């Protein structure tokens, strides 16, 4: 991983730094809570946690404007929280309750919010890539000056439909930012074991698509790259590829014992690259916040997450009649 | 030695065409590969090259002649210095090749084009013995004769005029005017923004279209044939059909996937497959398979307006066939309503799409034998008008289903199960599900014929259930 510290924090206000801290912390605490609820049997099936990757969505949301769209894979809780969806609604979907975003019918991998322009939540690796280009196609067709963030992982980057989409997105100049969240492992297969061309963003060059690799553990670097990509797309110069080098601390899903990497590797990443610690350092060393200020934020976040868990436990299961609704519009 | 130049078949389903133009005249010498004529079909004008070299001894069919059957000798090529005798105008060979289809006469210009050989002689649709429970159009409506191809194009054009968010996407839909000429003229009228040519990339463009439907557009996706939609089936089922449910009703996908389905003629196993039963299984999809031009038009317009993903299964062999279509400002046919083409009392024949050809022909012949068949065209496979079938079987007590797809898990199997559960006491014979044979489609003409369903098989099945 080519992660390096962003040398200066130009054009970042104290408030923005605090927001980054808060938003990333919300995702982390939420995911930890989801892990607990899974262990308690309140969440079933697949549950893919985003812990470690928080800087990617938080940094890119800082580059987005109202009306911009986002779509991602099944590792989607972080994306939803980052774009402002309600933690209670997400958690209640995880527990399969009527208060969830999909009334309990979608589950961890399938949530949507028209209001927040979040288009899922897709369970087939790579399928969200043409879908995301399609969202951008619609914006271009309708003359909307909006951009779509299409997230996918290093695993999906080997799917054929990604390249079919690259070809058409560039052919039609679609306003789409392809965000490769390279967390180094496609389930249990490291990038080194799945491809001889480890620089995934460079594959866009074959289609004439501009792009770059970004330290995805550095929220400021992510935001800066996101702004550049969004500006290109809004200027009619899309698409754009951002390869976010990041790391997931947890297994692929809850049932993954992660035997394919060492405990030391994960610990080293946590110690040296943690995106939240990095912002915490900046806030404290820059004199933007005190320990007490950050503790107060921690407390707030804890309260939000606990509340979401309570809601997710108390919200009833969907009425049995819901089995037969929403099949046809 | 003189060689006959025969009218070429320029597509797997071409039966006849117009000799639009000769580019050579008698006495000209030609080389192999030289373009000697222009042949026009209902789909396209194509250049025709000489295969052999020699001198054009005699032109047998003058330019501008329409309805020239495939394999009719159109000119005689002689070796240099050779004379053409009158006897060579039509050699005995022409009997084997040109006139091999008994019953198809030169003069029979009313015959629809693009028919499979087996169906050609009796193919003209019956003169509207229509007994739909409610008529599809008001009595006295002016009618015009149109091919299925024209009806489909009109449906798309009308809906694109009506709604700016409707657009057509697919391979060769624009500049080429459609691989099967269904989108002819649409690029000119609507421009490249709304008639979008794609690279050959079904998986990708199906996904893009579905995404655009999530975001408020109403895409019409043309698959050059439904065989290629298998590359895209994940998006059709996982992305298009399931999202409304997975989103708790928040996000639907108004999209039409259309294109030719089923066997054409002599195109082999990978290009000859009926997907009706496949898609009919999927909750969240609607599945339509029209037979007549009026239904093709009315159902396609309904499909485009529907807020759900619709699989619209066309048939290459039917494209060129003509039917009466009502002349109305806005003619639509609702989903889930079967059409009773022919009333009868002895047996119910249920079919859809190309299968209707055999069902109707069989009914006609059975009538001559004193067997009165009721023929039901499902039109939409999902939702299915099972009520129409049940009501009919309560009257006839016997049922034969006819479809081109494979036997196991067929649409007919589902109909049988519905009848057993809801009309068991009315059945006087086991229901027979006629299907294509349980084999990949062979290429050899004789084997292909054997693999496909035939009118004779329908007649045989009806005799079986009526114990005749």
- The CATH code of the domain that includes B205 is 3.40.50.970
- Domain span at residue B426 reads 337-465
Q: Does the residue B50 lie in any domain?
A: yes
Considering the domain architecture, whether residues B388 and B316 belong to the same structural domain is answered as: no
Contacts of B244 in chain A (CB under 8 A): 326-329
Burial B101-136 (b: 16+ CB within 10 A, else e): beebeeeeeebbbbbbebbbbbbebeeeebeeeeeb
Give the Cα separation of A215 and A32 in Å (integer).
Answer: 24
- Residue B84 has what pLDDT? 62
**Distance between A178 CA and the closest CA of chain B, angstroms:** 14
B55, B80, B105: which is the final residue of a domain?
Answer: B80
B290 within some domain: yes
CB A274 within 8 A of CB A2: no
SS3 state of residue B368: helix
Q: Which of chain B's residues have a Cβ under 8 Å away from the Cβ of A131?
A: 207-208, 210-211, 214, 235, 239
CA nearest to A93, candidates B249, B246, B250, B238? B246
Q: Do both B419 and B297 map to the same domain?
A: no
Query: What separation in angstroms does the CA of B389 have from each of B182, B214, B296?
Result: 32, 36, 21
Q: By C-alpha distance, which of B318, B357, B351, B335 is closest to B146?
A: B318
For the question of residue B235 being annotated catalytic, the response is: no
* Chain A residues touching B220 at Cβ < 8 A: none
| Predicted confidence (pLDDT) per residue in B206-228, tens digit | 999 999 999 999 999 999 999 99
ipTM for the whole complex = 0.94
Listed residues B57, B80, B103: the one ending a domain: B80
Q: Whole-angstrom Cα distance, residue A67 to residue B101?
A: 64
Which residue in B445, B396, B402 sits closest to B276, CA to CA? B402
In contact, B418 and B280? CB cutoff 8 Å: no
Using the Cβ of A152 and the Cβ atoms of chain B, whether some distance falls under 8 Å is answered with no
Residues B153 and B279 in one domain: yes
Q: What is the pLDDT of residue B70?
A: 87
**Position B90 in a domain:** no
Q: Are residues B216 and B319 in the same domain?
A: yes
- The answer to whether B271 is a known catalytic residue is yes
Cα–Cα dist B430/B443, whole Å: 33
Closest A-chain CA to B199: A168
Domains of chain A: 51-72+113-298 (3.40.50.970)
Given B80, B104, B135, which residue is the final one in a domain? Answer: B80
pLDDT of amino acid A253: 87
pLDDT score, position B13: 79
Neighboring chain A residues of B286 at a CB cutoff of 8 Å: 328
The verdict on residue B122 lying in a domain is no
pLDDT, position B81: 66
Domain for residue B12, yes or no? yes
Partner B, chain A 97-116, Cβ-Cβ below 8 Å: 100-106, 110-114
Phi-psi map region of B20: left, alpha, beta (phi>0 left; psi -120 to 50 alpha): alpha
Residues 6+ apart with CB under 8 A from B196: B167, B168, B169, B170, B173, B174
Residue B162, min C-alpha distance to chain A (Å) = 16
At residue B366's C-alpha, the angle toward residues B362 and B367, to 5°, is: 120
- Pairing between strand A118-121 and A176-182? unpaired
Structure tokens given for B201: 């990339």
Does residue B104 belong to any structural domain of this protein?
Answer: no
Whether B102 is covered by a domain: the verdict is no
pLDDT along chain A (329 residues), means of 10: 46 91 98 94 94 97 98 97 98 98 97 97 97 98 97 96 98 98 94 92 97 98 98 96 96 85 92 96 95 97 98 98 97
Q: List C-alpha distances in Å: B66 to A270, B108, B217.
A: 79, 12, 43
Residues B345 and B422 in one domain: yes
Residues B197 and B304 in one domain: yes
Is the same domain home to B179 and B320?
Answer: yes
Shared domain for B285 and B214, answered yes or no, is: yes
Q: How many CA within 13 A on the CB side of residue A132?
A: 33
Of B193, B204, B252, the CB nearest to A329: B252
Domain containing residue B18: CATH number: 2.40.50.100
- Residue B128: predicted pLDDT: 38
Q: What's the confidence (pLDDT) of residue A22?
A: 98
pLDDT in tens, chain B (468 residues): 688 888 888 777 788 889 999 999 999 998 888 889 988 887 777 888 888 888 999 999 999 999 999 889 999 988 866 766 554 444 334 334 333 343 333 434 343 444 343 333 343 433 434 444 789 999 999 999 999 999 999 999 999 999 999 999 999 999 999 999 999 999 999 999 999 999 999 999 999 999 999 999 999 999 999 999 999 999 999 999 999 999 999 999 999 999 999 999 899 999 999 999 999 999 999 999 999 999 999 999 999 999 999 999 999 999 999 999 999 999 999 999 999 999 999 999 999 999 999 999 999 999 999 999 999 999 999 999 999 999 999 999 999 999 999 999 999 999 999 999 999 999 999 999 999 999 999 999 999 999 999 999 999 999 999 998
The answer as to whether B133 is a domain residue is no
Both tokens of B453, joined, read: 């369903």
For residue B67, which phi and psi values (nearest 5 degrees)? 65, 30
* CATH code (residue B353): 3.40.50.920
Which residue in the list B15, B16, B159, B202 is annotated as catalytic?
A: B202
Q: Among A102, A97, A98, A107, which residue's Cα sits nearest to residue A44? A: A107
Closest alpha carbon within chain A to B200: A164
Q: In the sheet where B3-6 sits, what is the strand order?
A: B3-6, B73-78, B54-59, B29-30
In angstroms, the CA A63 to CA A20 distance is 12
Quote the number of domains for chain B: 3
What is the DSSP code (8-state) at residue B268?
-
Q: Are residues B367 and B452 in the same domain?
A: yes
- What are the two backbone dihedrals, phi and then psi, of residue B131, each rounded to the nearest 5 degrees? -135, 50
One domain, residues B153 and B45: no
Residue B239 and residue B423: Cα distance in Å, rounded? 37
Q: Using CA atoms, how far apart are residues B461 and B295, in angstroms rounded to an integer? A: 27
**Of the candidates B253, B244, B209, the residue with the CA atom closest to the CA atom of residue A112:** B244
Rounded distance, CA A154 to CA A257, Å? Answer: 20
One domain for residues B158 and B241: yes
What distances in angstroms separate CA A240 from CA A1, A157, A197, B219, one per listed residue? Answer: 21, 15, 19, 25
pLDDT score of A9: 56
Cis peptide before B380 (omega within 30 of 0): no
Identify which of B270, B432, B454, B455 has the alpha carbon closest to the alpha carbon of residue B366.
B455
CB A126 within 8 A of CB A161: yes
In terms of domains, do B367 and B322 share one? no
Q: In this prediction, what percent of chain B has a pLDDT beyond 70?
A: 88
């Amino acid at each position: 991983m080519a992660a390096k510290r962003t040398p200066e924090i130009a054009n970042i206000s104290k408030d923005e730094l605090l927001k980054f801290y808060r938003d990333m912390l919300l995702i982390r605490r939420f995911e930890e809570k989801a892990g607990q609820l899974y262990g308690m049997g309140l969440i079933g099936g697949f549950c893919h946690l985003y812990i470690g990757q928080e800087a990617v969505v938080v940094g890119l949301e800082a580059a987005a404007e109202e009306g911009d769209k986002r779509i991602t894979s099944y590792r989607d809780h972080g994306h939803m929280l980052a774009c402002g969806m309600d933690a209670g609604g997400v958690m209640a979907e995880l527990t399969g309750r009527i208060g969830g975003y999909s009334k309990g019918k979608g589950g961890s991998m399938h949530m949507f919010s028209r209001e927040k322009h979040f288009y899922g939540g897709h369970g087939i690796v790579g399928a969200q890539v043409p879908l995301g280009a399609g969202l951008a196609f619609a914006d271009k067709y309708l003359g909307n000056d909006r951009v779509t963030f299409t997230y996918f992982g290093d695993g999906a980057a080997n799917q054929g439909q990604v390249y079919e989409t690259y070809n058409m997105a560039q052919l039609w100049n679609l306003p789409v930012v392809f965000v490769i969240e390279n967390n180094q492992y496609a389930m249990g297969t490291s990038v080194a074991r799945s491809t001889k061309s480890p620089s995934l963003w460079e594959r866009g060059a074959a289609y004439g698509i501009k792009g770059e690799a970004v330290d995805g553990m550095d929220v400021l670097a992510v935001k800066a790259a996101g702004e550049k990509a969004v500006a290109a797309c809004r200027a009619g110069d899309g698409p754009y590829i951002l390869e976010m080098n990041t790391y997931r601390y947890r297994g692929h899903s809850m049932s993954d014992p992660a035997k394919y990497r060492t405990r030391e590797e994960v610990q080293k990443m946590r110690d040296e690259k943690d995106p939240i610690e990095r912002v915490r350092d900046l806030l404290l060393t820059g004199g933007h916040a005190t320990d007490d200020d950050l503790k107060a934020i921690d407390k707030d976040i804890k309260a939000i997450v606990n509340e979401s868990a309570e809601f997710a436990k108390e919200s009833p299961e969907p009425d049995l009649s819901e089995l037969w609704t929403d099949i046809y519009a | 030695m003189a060689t006959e130049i025969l009218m070429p078949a320029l597509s797997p389903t071409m039966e006849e065409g117009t000799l639009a133009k000769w580019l050579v005249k008698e006495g000209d010498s030609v080389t192999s590969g030289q373009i000697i004529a222009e042949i026009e079909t209902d789909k396209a004008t194509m250049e025709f090259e000489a295969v052999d070299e020699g001198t054009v001894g005699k032109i047998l069919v003058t330019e501008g002649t329409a309805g020239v059957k495939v394999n009719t000798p159109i000119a005689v090529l002689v070796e240099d210095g050779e004379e053409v005798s009158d006897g060579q105008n039509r050699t005995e060979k022409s009997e084997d090749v040109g006139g091999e289809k008994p019953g198809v006469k030169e003069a029979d210009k009313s015959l629809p084009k693009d028919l499979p050989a087996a169906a050609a002689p009796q193919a003209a649709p019956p003169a509207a013995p229509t007994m739909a429970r409610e008529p599809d159009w008001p009595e006295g409506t002016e009618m015009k004769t149109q091919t299925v191809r024209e009806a489909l194009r009109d449906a798309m054009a009308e809906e694109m005029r009506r709604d700016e968010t409707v657009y057509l996407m697919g391979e060769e839909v624009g500049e080429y005017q459609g691989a099967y000429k269904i989108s002819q003229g649409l690029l000119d009228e609507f421009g490249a923004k709304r008639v979008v040519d794609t690279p050959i990339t079904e998986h990708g463009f199906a996904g893009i279209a579905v995404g655009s439907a999530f975001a408020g557009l109403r895409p019409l996706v043309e698959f050059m044939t439904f065989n290629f939609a298998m590359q895209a089936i994940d998006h059709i089922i996982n992305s298009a059909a399931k999202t409304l449910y997975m989103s708790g009703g928040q996000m639907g996908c108004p999209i039409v996937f259309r294109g030719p389905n089923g066997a054409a003629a002599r195109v082999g196993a990978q290009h000859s497959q009926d997907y009706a039963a496949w898609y009919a299984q999927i909750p969240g999809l609607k599945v339509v398979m029209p037979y007549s031009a009026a239904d093709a038009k009315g159902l396609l317009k309904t499909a485009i307006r529907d807020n759900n993903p619709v699989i619209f299964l066309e048939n290459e062999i039917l494209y060129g066939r003509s039917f009466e279509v009502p002349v109305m400002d806005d003619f639509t046919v609702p989903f889930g309503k079967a059409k009773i083409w022919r009333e009868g009392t002895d047996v119910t024949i249920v079919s859809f799409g190309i299968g209707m050809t055999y069902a109707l022909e069989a009914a006609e012949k059975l009538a001559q034998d004193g067997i009165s068949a009721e023929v039901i065209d499902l039109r939409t496979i999902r939702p299915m008008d099972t009520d129409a079938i049940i009501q009919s079987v309560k009257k006839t007590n016997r049922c034969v289903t006819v479809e081109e797809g494979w036997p196991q898990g067929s649409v007919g199997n589902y109909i049988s199960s519905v009848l057993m559960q809801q009309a068991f006491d009315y059945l006087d014979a086991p229901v027979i599900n006629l299907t294509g044979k349980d084999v990949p489609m062979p290429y050899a003409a004789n084997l292909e014929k054997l693999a496909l369903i035939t009118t004779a098989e329908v007649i045989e099945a009806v005799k079986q259930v009526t114990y005749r």
